[in-house]
């Protein structure tokens, strides 16, 4: 089977209807939410709600912040870094001391230093990469006070930086871009906290666990025998404050699961309704922020253009992913395994998937969670077909701009938009403009750093891992698939996604340290250049559009923006992809002999 027929194969009608229905619900919720976020970060929400304004100012005063103080981009960036350093130290300390702290009914020991560092960096950077099994490693207090709190703060930080970035376009001849502490508090209080509270209650009502009790020992319906021949009559069921963490992990595009199986675990995702609500939630805020962008810049067409670019990138890839996972594994078919749809078999590639989700539901979720920089999974990506695994990997490698993380996805896409207008300006011999601001050499240098450093980090990290004994020791599967596991891990870390191929044993000092560094680079060496661009643009005067100004709300600009994103992703990662999922796909389909390991 060649790649072309698969790419052109039409997925089942039911999956198309499901994807369309998801899009309709998402838009219906995202539009009012986006306008609300614009009111919050534009100051209109608190100015017309006296009680909310009083609460906000009281909290800021309590924290020692002056709500009326404006910050330069350097001051704003310093505040972001300071908050992140404190977050890393606090999260690290809670993990190392959890055996001495309350709410540890299962008596979890302290987390190892390298793993505690990796986890602290992971949650502070909104990556939520997990090299541990949460239910067997962390106490209730650590899950709540360390991880769930960072889920709120890291998501609100992304929204705050986006708000500051937008002010760079809306302000003129000024040296300030807002106040980080005000933006952070507003994002948590008036956006993330209310959404998470409502979703947590709904999820708990559907059966998602919410408890402070220790693990329960329950009798098995059918007693079994373990490998040593000992009879097993009970099973230990770990519980905890799960619903509250699942709500913010999805809404904040964090993705860190309470359980090792993440959203495939029935205690995190028990029903079809919870699966749909969680899927909508992980795309909701990134989608809504497109409308926030349009409202704050005073031209909603700009927000629709950015959303159109995201959708144009997402839809073809999700359909390819569905088609790939609906395929019959030729090696299983040759063994006589039933692979066609029936009352006992949903058909397609069911390895590593929950029967209740099936190949289509798993493929849609995999595409959505990697497009949204979420990282929560309801199936094991390591068990996808080669082309099915290529789809989520490519969505990550495109820079997490296809929806992307809360705030971070949109400001990364706007950076690509600046590159697109710069290239268009070069074509016509005219100084490029975007939203009334001239785009010059400084902005392009910062954009180059923001776009290229995650790519470089991914490729260099992968090269180091596969060329050293410590890196190769974690690879469970030799050959192209093992290479894909490593490439996916560094792509996920450097782009702050957090999902993994699962076959890589990443809980070692080597991977904990190297992936932790990749997460820091992927977060802050995108965020800091974005703030620098915001400061530069805010200092410039607005330029009225002229006859030669490129309209940035038209289908032509959307196509140009999509092309720029694809070219950067394809040129940066195609050689590496050719060594991993592409050659594995050729082996899988019988078009090439298996490579020597």
**pLDDT tens digit sequence for 542-569:** 988 877 788 999 999 999 999 999 998 7
Question: Which band of pLDDT confidence, cut at 50, 70 and 90, is reported for residue 595?
Answer: low
**Token pair of 148, please?**
């769930």
DSSP class of 267: T
Beta bridge partners of 379: 353
Q: What is the pLDDT of residue 2?
A: 40
Higher-pLDDT residue of 345, 358: 358
Domain ranges of the chain: 408-588
Q: At a CB cut-off of 8 Å and minimum separation 6, what does 485 contact?
A: 382, 475, 476, 477, 500, 501, 503, 504
Q: pLDDT tens across 180-225, in order?
A: 999 999 999 999 999 999 999 999 999 999 999 999 989 888 888 8
591 pLDDT above the threshold of 60: no
HSE toward the beta carbon, residue 431, CA cutoff 13 A: 10
The single-letter DSSP state of residue 478 is -
How confident is the model over 63-120, as pLDDT tens digits? 899 999 999 999 999 999 999 999 999 999 999 999 999 999 999 999 999 999 999 9
Q: What's the pLDDT score for residue 13?
A: 63
With 70 as the cut, is the pLDDT of residue 146 above it?
yes
pTM (predicted TM-score)? 0.93
Contact 490, 518 (CB under 8 A): yes
Q: Average pLDDT for residues 336-363, to the nearest whole number?
A: 80
Residues 6+ apart with CB under 8 A from 66: 60, 179
């Amino acid at each position: 089977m060649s790649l072309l027929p698969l790419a052109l194969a039409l997925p089942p009608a039911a999956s198309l209807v499901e994807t369309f229905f998801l899009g309709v619900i998402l838009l219906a919720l995202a539009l009012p939410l986006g306008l609300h976020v614009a009111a919050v970060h534009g100051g209109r929400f608190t100015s017309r709600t006296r009680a909310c304004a009083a609460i906000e100012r009281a909290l800021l005063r309590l924290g020692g912040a002056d709500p009326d103080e404006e910050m330069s981009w350097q001051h704003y960036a310093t505040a972001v870094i300071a908050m992140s350093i404190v977050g890393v130290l606090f999260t690290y300390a809670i993990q190392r001391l959890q055996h001495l702290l309350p709410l540890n009914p299962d008596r979890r020991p302290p987390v190892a230093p390298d793993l505690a560092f990796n986890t602290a960096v992971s949650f502070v950077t909104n990556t939520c990469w997990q090299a541990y099994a949460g239910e067997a490693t962390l106490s209730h207090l650590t899950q709540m006070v360390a991880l769930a709190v960072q889920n709120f703060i890291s998501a609100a930080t992304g929204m705050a930086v986006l708000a500051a970035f937008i002010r760079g376009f809306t302000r003129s001849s000024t040296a300030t871009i807002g106040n980080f502490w005000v933006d952070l508090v507003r994002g948590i209080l008036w956006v993330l906290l209310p959404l998470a509270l409502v979703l947590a209650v709904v999820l708990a009502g559907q059966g998602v666990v919410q408890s402070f009790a220790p693990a329960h020992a329950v009798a098995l319906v059918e007693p079994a025998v373990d490998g040593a021949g000992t009879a097993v009559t009970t099973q230990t069921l770990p519980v905890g404050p799960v619903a509250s963490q699942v709500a913010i992990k999805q809404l904040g595009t964090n993705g860190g699961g309470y359980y090792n199986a993440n959203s495939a675990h029935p205690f995190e995702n028990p029903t079809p309704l919870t699966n749909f609500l969680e899927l909508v939630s992980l795309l909701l805020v990134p989608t809504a922020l497109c409308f926030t962008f349009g409202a704050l810049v005073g031209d909603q067409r700009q927000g629709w253009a950015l959303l159109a670019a995201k959708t144009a990138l997402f839809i073809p890839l999700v359909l390819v992913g569905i088609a790939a996972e609906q395929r019959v594994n030729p090696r299983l078919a040759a063994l006589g395994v039933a692979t066609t749809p029936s009352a006992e078999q949903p058909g397609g590639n069911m390895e590593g998937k929950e029967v209740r989700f099936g190949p289509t539901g798993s493929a849609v979720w995999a595409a959505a969670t990697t497009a949204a920089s979420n990282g929560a999974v309801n199936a094991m990506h390591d068990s996808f077909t080669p082309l099915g695994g290529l789809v989520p990997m490519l969505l990550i490698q495109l820079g997490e701009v296809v929806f992307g993380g809360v705030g971070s996805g949109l400001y990364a896409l706007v950076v690509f938009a600046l590159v697109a207008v710069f290239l268009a300006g070069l074509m016509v011999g005219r100084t490029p403009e975007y939203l009334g601001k001239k785009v010059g050499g400084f902005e392009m240098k910062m954009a180059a750093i923001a776009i290229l450093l995650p790519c470089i980090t991914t490729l260099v990290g992968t090269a180091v891992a596969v060329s050293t004994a410590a890196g190769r020791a974690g690879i469970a599967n030799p050959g192209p698939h093992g290479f894909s596991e490593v490439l996916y891990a560094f792509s996920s870390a450097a782009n702050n996604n957090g999902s993994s191929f699962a076959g890589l044993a990443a809980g070692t000092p080597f991977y904990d340290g190297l992936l932790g560094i990749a997460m820091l680079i992927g977060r802050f060496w995108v965020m800091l250049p974005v703030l620098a661009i915001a400061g530069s643009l805010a200092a410039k005067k607005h330029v009225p559009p002229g006859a030669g100004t490129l309209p940035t709300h038209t289908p032509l600009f959307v196509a140009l923006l999509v092309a720029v994103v694809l070219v950067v992703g394809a040129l940066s990662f195609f050689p590496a992809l050719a060594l991993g999922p592409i050659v594995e796909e050729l082996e899988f389909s019988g078009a090439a002999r298996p490579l020597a390991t």
